[in-house]
């Protein structure tokens, strides 16, 4: 049992640090021992005890000086897609196997400035391309609930680390569901904020118009201070939003919106969610959804109804089109972003080659895995002469229609949308090795949210999967900039359920 396991929330742990019942150094030392002893060696890709303990000593000094915040001394870890000083940043690829960045990503810097203590870098699918964390060049990550199953992807290392109790929170990225899906499959809480509210500076690009930093923790309440620190305008990121429709994108917004929603809920007493309209898309409950997941989602919706909310059936008619649209747009952007890895400036360079063209070809073939090469080829094809109009522009038109579907639902029918995150529980490792398209199809409930740039999150809502139960997640989708409200709704649900308190081996 680790020191972290003695505390039920980030707030409790922060209070213990403030009361000097535990020091940041003691906590970091104990947590590092747990990381080194954890049976799945692929969760963390790079750990440096000296760097972690240095940050812990700084946190203790900050507390001693009376300058601590709620995150000072809190142990976290970063998805290996955020560049970091000191720790390697590989994107789980041989292409960047030995790369160490001279600077921190904005998200990393913001969390460090808030006093968090980083334990290192967490595994992911290579360049965030995958849904099971099997595409890492350094080995597949195993689901803490059952090591024969995937943890989800691409932020599988982040979700597994939180579920296993190795960290309080972990950063992730979500391009088409890569925070929400692993959160659901590992039984933790995770949120993808509105596109542009968290800086992408220093986050290795996959698909620039879709990539968004997010965060995972055991419960929704713990997500609030982490996301609050991560959010805010960054002039170094051209996609960062300073404000939109009068809503300022500034530090403190998530926390204040969350607090305001909590006050409204408390005032409503017996039926705190009275007046809330929950949109349930009929397209999410078709033949592709497993009965186990469907039953768990239905039970979760009934809990919200018992709290006063009203269920409204809505339609997102272009849900199925999200898959082909995403798998045209994302690979197209990936083919452009990954063209920088040519063996000349940085990254892997082949040891043996003829001319410059041969060097680039060999370096990319050796450095990129199968899924990355597959998506680069698809992206290059749809951007090529004669196919750009037929595929890429058409996909962008469909994307606009998907946005309109969500906007229509929020404008006319509902305040929040809820439904499943995945069609089924976590599959076994290797099940889709010969059929990568099966993984693409499993993203059907998350892709539309990413294409629309809306905030979405996953919270635990049940278990299924036979003799060894596996977690199921409920997806919440909100209007633009409604992260605080979503987190408050999730917290309200978690106040009356205990799914988020279950831990592997003690379900």
- State CA 41 to chain mean position distance: 21
Q: Report how far apart, in Å, the C-alpha atoms of 270 and of each of 265, 267, 307, 415, 487 are.
A: 9, 9, 7, 20, 20
Distance CA 91, CA 271 (A): 46
Determine how β-strand 212-217 pairs with β-strand 169-174: antiparallel
Q: Tell me the CB-side half-sphere exposure of residue 329, using CA atoms within 13 A.
A: 26
Report the C-alpha gap between 90 and 214 in whole angstroms.
Answer: 19
Q: Is 383 exposed, middle or buried (0-12, 13-18, 19+ CB in 10 A)?
A: middle
Give CA–CA dist 380/328, Å, rounded.
10
Task: Please confirm, yes or no, whether 131 is among the known catalytic residues.
Answer: no
Residue whose pair of structure tokens reads 């360079």 in the numeric block: 349
Tell me how far CA of residue 41 lies from CA of 17, 80, 96, 162, in angstroms: 29, 15, 19, 15
Residue 78 · residue 43 · CB < 8 Å: no
Say if residues 138 and 43 touch (Cβ distance below 8 Å).
no
- Catalytic residue chosen out of the listed positions 79, 131, 192, 482: 79
Active-site position among 92, 131, 154, 231: 154
Active site residue 274: no
Please pick, among 101, 178, 335, 458, the residue that the annotation labels catalytic. 178
Residue 33 tokens, joined:
């021992």
20 labelled catalytic: no
Catalytic residue set: 79, 154, 178
């Amino acid at each position: 049992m680790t020191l972290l396991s003695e505390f039920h929330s980030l707030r409790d742990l922060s209070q213990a640090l403030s009361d000097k019942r535990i020091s940041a150094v003691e906590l970091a030392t104990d947590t590092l021992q747990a990381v080194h002893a954890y049976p799945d060696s692929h969760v963390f890709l790079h750990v440096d005890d000296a760097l972690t303990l240095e940050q812990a000593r700084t946190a203790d000094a900050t507390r001693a000086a009376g300058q601590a915040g709620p995150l000072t001394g809190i142990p976290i870890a970063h998805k290996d897609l955020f560049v970091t000083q000191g720790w390697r940043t590989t994107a789980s690829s041989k292409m960047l196997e030995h790369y160490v960045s001279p600077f921190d990503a904005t998200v990393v810097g913001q969390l460090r400035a808030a006093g968090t203590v980083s334990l290192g870098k967490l595994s992911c699918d290579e360049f965030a391309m995958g849904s099971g964390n099997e595409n890492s060049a350094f080995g597949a990550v195993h689901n803490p609930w059952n090591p024969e199953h995937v943890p989800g992807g691409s932020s599988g290392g982040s979700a597994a680390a939180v579920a296993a109790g190795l960290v309080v929170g972990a950063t992730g990225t979500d391009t088409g569901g890569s925070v929400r899906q692993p959160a659901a499959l590992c039984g933790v809480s995770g949120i993808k904020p509105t596109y542009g509210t968290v800086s992408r500076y220093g986050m290795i690009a996959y698909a620039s118009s879709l990539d968004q930093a997010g965060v995972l923790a055991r419960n929704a309440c713990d997500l609030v201070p982490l996301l609050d620190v991560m959010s805010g305008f960054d002039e170094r990121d051209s996609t960062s939003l300073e404000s939109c429709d009068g809503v300022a994108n500034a530090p403190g917004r998530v926390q204040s919106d969350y607090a305001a929603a909590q006050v409204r809920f408390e005032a409503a007493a017996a039926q705190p969610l009275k007046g809330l309209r929950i949109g349930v898309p009929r397209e999410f409950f078709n033949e592709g959804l497993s009965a186990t997941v469907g039953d768990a989602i239905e039970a979760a919706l009934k809990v919200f109804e018992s709290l006063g909310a009203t269920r409204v059936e809505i339609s997102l008619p272009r849900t199925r089109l999200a898959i082909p649209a995403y798998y045209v747009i994302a690979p197209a952007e990936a083919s452009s972003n990954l063209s920088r890895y040519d063996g000349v400036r940085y990254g892997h360079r082949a040891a043996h080659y003829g001319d410059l063209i041969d060097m680039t070809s060999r370096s990319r073939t050796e450095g990129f895995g199968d899924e990355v090469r597959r998506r680069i080829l698809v992206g290059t094809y749809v951007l090529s002469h004669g196919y750009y109009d037929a595929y890429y522009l058409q996909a962008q038109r469909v994307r606009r229609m998907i946005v309109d579907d969500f906007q229509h639902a929020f404008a006319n029918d509902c305040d929040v949308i809820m439904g499943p995150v995945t069609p089924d529980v976590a599959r076994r490792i290797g099940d889709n090795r010969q059929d990568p398209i099966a993984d693409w199809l499993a993203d059907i409930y998350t892709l539309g949210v990413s294409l629309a740039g809306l905030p979405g999150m996953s919270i635990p809502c049940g278990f299924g999967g036979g003799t060894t139960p596996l977690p199921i997640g409920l997806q919440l989708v909100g209007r633009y900039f409604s992260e605080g409200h979503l987190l408050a709704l999730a917290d309200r649900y978690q106040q009356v359920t205990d799914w988020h308190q279950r831990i592997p081996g003690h379900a």
